[in-house]
Amino acid sequence: MRLLVLLWSLGPLLWQLRTSLLRPEALVAPLREGNPWTLANYQLVLCGDPPFWQYLTNSTLVGLATTLLTLLLAVPCAYGLQKLRGPMRWGVGLALAAAAMFPTVLLFLALLEIARSFGLANNLLALSLPYAALSLPLAVLLLRAAFADLPGELEDAARLEGLGLGQRLRFVLLPLLGPALASTAILVFLASWNEYAIALTWISRSDLLTLPIAIARIGGGSVFTIPYGAFAAATVLGSLPLLLLVLVAQRSIVSGLTRGAVKG
């Protein structure tokens, strides 16, 4: 059973790994014949123009900037929402849930216009603005649930000690929020790493492409056939950071979603 599940989940990826290690002529040969392994595909991808790690760096930069910005905005918002009472709280919560579900591709045209009129095109840091907005709803909902889990007496005690709002957040609440922040950060990072429609319309310079766009271009932008070996190498390289992240942070992801998911 476990094996079957693993085969289903990893099979296609393992096939990519195999493809990436084969010589081009072995790709079109029948399955059983010999195994002429090679690292040439990786060399090709890493020495391309621009080299592949450029896309990895671009995606990383956008991901980090987005994560930082999202957390900066989401923490106060979640705290405020948690303290809010009455219909406003309900309304904002519902609006956030609706925004969290919204398919982002439907936003691209208006965002393209914004990018053009404010000169935000071809700028990786600017790209993190819409990305932060796309991640905010989920982040706020997750963090609000985390705030709700903190015992209320703790903050009351801090208030009695004479600590201001900023100090309470900074020294009392946030340290306790560590795990929730970590899991939120990972989810935000993943979302921005994988985003497609907006990056597709905001970035046109090939040295600024993020990973999903760069990879899609290999498919749509090639001559007669797709260079599948090189492409497979690109997918393996692009998957490795995520594999690491997921292995390291698996529990954070599960617990993060568990906590906030249904409350929204």
| 158 near other proteins, rule: CB under 8 A | no
Examine residue 157 and tell whether it contacts other proteins (CB under 8 A).
Answer: no
Q: Which of 150, 163, 173, 245 binds other proteins (CB under 8 A)?
A: 245
Please check whether residue 44 is in contact with residue 232, taking contact to mean a CB–CB distance below 8 angstroms: no
User: Should residue 99 be labelled a site residue for other proteins when binding is judged by CB under 8 A?
Assistant: yes
> What is the footprint of other proteins within residues 33-52 (CB under 8 A)?
none
Q: Residue from 44, 64, 150, 158 that binds other proteins (CB under 8 A)? A: 64
Beta bridge partners of 22: 37
Give the residue, chosen from 46, 76, 150, 173, that forms a contact with other proteins under the rule CB under 8 A.
76
* Interface pick for other proteins out of 85, 87, 151, 160 (rule CB under 8 A): 85
Q: Which of 94, 150, 200, 233 binds other proteins (CB under 8 A)?
A: 200
Among 41, 60, 128, 184, binds other proteins (CB under 8 A): 60
Contact segment (CB under 8 A) with other proteins among 36-44, 135-143, 155-163 equals 135-143
Residues written for the chain: 264
Cis peptide before 175 (omega within 30 of 0): no
What is the smallest separation between the CB atom of 39 and other proteins, expressed in angstroms? 19
Enter the tokens of residue 200: 């597709």
Query: Which amino acid would we find at residue 62?
Result: V
In whole angstroms, the minimum distance from the beta carbon of 34 to other proteins comes to 14
Determine which residue in the list 45, 172, 197, 233 makes contact with other proteins, applying CB under 8 A: 197
In angstroms, what is the minimal distance from the CB of 135 to other proteins? 11
Residue 167 as a binder of other proteins (CB under 8 A): the answer is no
